[in-house]
C-alpha cells in the first residue's frame, strides 16, 4: 500500500526486512532491544508492517490481534522522520488492520520517555490506564486505551 504522502507500508518478509523492523523498534525503544529471533517470534503472533518513504525506512507498526475485542496498536516513527504526517498514516493503517481482525477497543503502549509518542496518543483520544516498569528497566511503560 502506498499512502497519499508516498509512504509505502508492507509486511516484512525474510530476515533482511525483519531486521529493518527490528532496527525501528530498537531505535524507538532502546530500553527493550529485540534480537532477530525475538522479532521472528513476534511476527508469528502479531501483524508487523514496515513503512518507507522514497525507499527510506521511516517507521513500523505492530498490531496485536484482539482478545475479547481489545487489540493493541503500536505505530513507531524514527525520530528523524517525525512531524511529517507519517505517524498519522501508520496509525490509520494499523487501526484498519485491528478493526479487520475484529477489534472493538484499541489500546497502545508508549515508553514514558517518548514524549512525542505520548503526545500523539493523547491527541488521538487515548487515556492512560496503567504505568509499570519492566524488570531490569527504570523507565515506565504507559498503557493507554481508546474506546
What is the grid cell recorded at 39?
A: 522479532
For the chain, the domain total comes to 1
pLDDT at 147: 75
Q: What three-state secondary structure class fits 102?
A: coil
Q: Which domain holds residue 11?
A: 7-146
List the CATH number of the domain containing 138. 3.40.630.30
Strand 70-77 relative to strand 105-111, pairing:
parallel
Write down the pTM of the prediction: 0.91
Determine, yes or no, domain membership for 86.
yes
Q: What is the pLDDT of residues 71-126, one digit of tens each?
A: 999 999 999 998 899 999 999 999 999 999 999 999 999 999 989 889 999 999 99
Determine, yes or no, domain membership for 132.
yes
Q: Which run of H or E residues covers position 52?
A: strand 47-53
**Is the per-residue pLDDT at 3 higher than 70?**
no
Amino acid at each position: 500500500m502506498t499512502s497519499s504522502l508516498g509512504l509505502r507500508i508492507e509486511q516484512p518478509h525474510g530476515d533482511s526486512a525483519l531486521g529493518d523492523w527490528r532496527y525501528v523498534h530498537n531505535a524507538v525503544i532502546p530500553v527493550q532491544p529485540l534480537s532477530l529471533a525475538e522479532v521472528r517470534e513476534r511476527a508469528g503472533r502479531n501483524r508487523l508492517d514496515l513503512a518507507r518513504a522514497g525507499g527510506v525506512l521511516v517507521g513500523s507498526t505492530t498490531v496485536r490481534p484482539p482478545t475479547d475485542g481489545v487489540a493493541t496498536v503500536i505505530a513507531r516513527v524514527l525520530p528523524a522522520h517525525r512531524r511529517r504526517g507519517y505517524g498519522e498514516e501508520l496509525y490509520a493503517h494499523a487501526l484498519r488492520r485491528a478493526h479487520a481482525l475484529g477489534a472493538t477497543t484499541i489500546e497502545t503502549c508508549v515508553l514514558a520517555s517518548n514524549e512525542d509518542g505520548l503526545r500523539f496518543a493523547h491527541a488521538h483520544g487515548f487515556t492512560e490506564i496503567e504505568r509499570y516498569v519492566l524488570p531490569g528497566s527504570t523507565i515506565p511503560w504507559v498503557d493507554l486505551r481508546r474506546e
